[in-house]
């Protein structure tokens, strides 16, 4: 049974089936055709079957009327994820010249009930495009994100609204506030990259500021993967091993006894960069990288043991003079 149809509507006791409504007497409902031998047939409720049987007829006859619009409201209440219902509703809104601001309020209420239903967010996006007005979208998505800070659809709609209508002002402040509330909010880190990359770009000055900000966040939660990923991402096109402040930071953490898997992975990346740049003591650097891979595989990130073994083999094959012996004996060198 469809998840949506099992929900009871408010005022359900007053429900009148479409087949019993005089104003629909001229319409012959169209039953769903599952073929002669349906497999795993869905047991629809009588209400669901009634509404969608009439909707199929309206769709087939291309009826554009107020009653058809009301029918799409009932159909959407039963199944808000039905794209065809929303598409036809938009055709009706245009044809009937309905107030789109009212429709925006309606779909906003629907999203609050079903915040992870893509079809609702798409409908809202089309309405905003038609209105050419996104004045309420940041406030609206913020309310949804207060319920679920990682709602993908809300973030997607927010990014679209910002980039389409140039709503960049104060967005970084919003991200800062989110990260102050939860430094592990990966969606906020992603939004931070999105905003900086489009607005100021990662100039040397901005990069320096972002590195300092990120290191401060890492200090608050060493095992926070999101911050480490952001740090790696913004330094991706730089020679990591030449970022002295970052290398010093990671070294100090390591020497203090910290063994976060994200810290060790970051150090491995910096060591690999040294090897790429043909450092002065490649054998020593390689042995340390292989030792850290072995440490991750056996102790600090065992769930990805095979991955770290693979990384070790790749490093040994690419930079070792005798790959197999370098890989097998690396952990004994430390």
Q: Which residues are catalytic?
A: 116
> How far apart, in whole angstroms, are the C-alpha atoms of residue 326 and residue 329?
6
> How far apart, in whole angstroms, are the C-alpha atoms of residue 133 and residue 152?
22
And the tokens for 135? Answer: 């004045």
Write the CA distances from 4 to 8, 31, 50, 114, 151, integer angstroms: 9, 19, 15, 10, 20
**Cβ within 8 Å of residue 331, ≥6 positions away:** 290, 291, 294, 295, 298
Candidates 30, 82, 254; CA nearest to 271 is 254
> How far apart, in whole angstroms, are the C-alpha atoms of residue 19 and residue 169?
53
34: three-class secondary structure by DSSP:
coil
Query: Following DSSP, what letter does each residue of 93-138 receive, concatenated?
Result: HHHHT--HHHHHHHHHHHHHHSTT-HHHHHHHHHHHHHHT--TTHH
Candidates 304, 329, 303, 305; CA nearest to 316 is 329
15 and 47 Cβ atoms separated by less than 8 Å: yes
């Amino acid at each position: 049974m469809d998840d949506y149809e099992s929900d009871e509507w408010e005022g359900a006791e007053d429900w009148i089936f479409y087949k019993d409504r005089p104003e629909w007497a001229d319409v012959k409902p169209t039953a769903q055709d599952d073929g002669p031998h349906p497999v795993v047939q869905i047991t629809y409720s009588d209400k669901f079957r009634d509404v969608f049987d009439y909707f199929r007829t309206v769709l087939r006859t291309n009826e554009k009327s107020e009653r058809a619009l009301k029918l799409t409201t009932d159909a959407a209440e039963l199944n808000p994820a039905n794209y065809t219902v929303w598409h036809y509703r938009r055709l009706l809104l245009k044809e009937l010249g309905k107030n789109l601001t009212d429709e925006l309020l309606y779909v906003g209420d629907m999203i609050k009930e079903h915040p992870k239903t893509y079809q609702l967010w798409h409908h809202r996006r089309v309405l905003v495009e038609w209105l050419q007005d996104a004045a309420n979208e940041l406030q609206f998505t913020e309310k949804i994100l207060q319920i679920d800070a990682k709602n993908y659809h809300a973030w997607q709609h927010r990014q679209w609204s910002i980039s389409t209508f140039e709503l960049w002002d104060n967005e970084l402040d919003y991200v800062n506030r989110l990260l102050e509330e939860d430094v592990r909010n990966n969606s906020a880190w992603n939004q931070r990259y999105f905003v900086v990359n489009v607005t100021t770009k990662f100039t040397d000055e901005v990069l320096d500021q972002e590195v300092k900000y990120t290191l401060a966040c890492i200090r608050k939660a060493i095992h926070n993967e999101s911050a480490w990923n952001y740090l790696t991402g913004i330094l991706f096109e730089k020679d990591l091993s030449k970022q002295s402040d970052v290398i010093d930071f990671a070294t100090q953490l390591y020497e203090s006894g910290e063994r976060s898997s994200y810290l060790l992975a970051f150090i491995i990346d910096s060591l690999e960069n040294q090897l790429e740049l043909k450092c002065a003591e490649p054998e020593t650097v390689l042995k340390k990288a292989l030792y850290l891979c072995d440490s991750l595989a056996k102790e600090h990130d065992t769930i990805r043991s095979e991955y770290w073994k693979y990384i070790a083999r790749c490093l040994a094959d690419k930079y070792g003079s005798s790959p197999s012996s370098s890989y097998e004996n690396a952990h004994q060198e430390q």
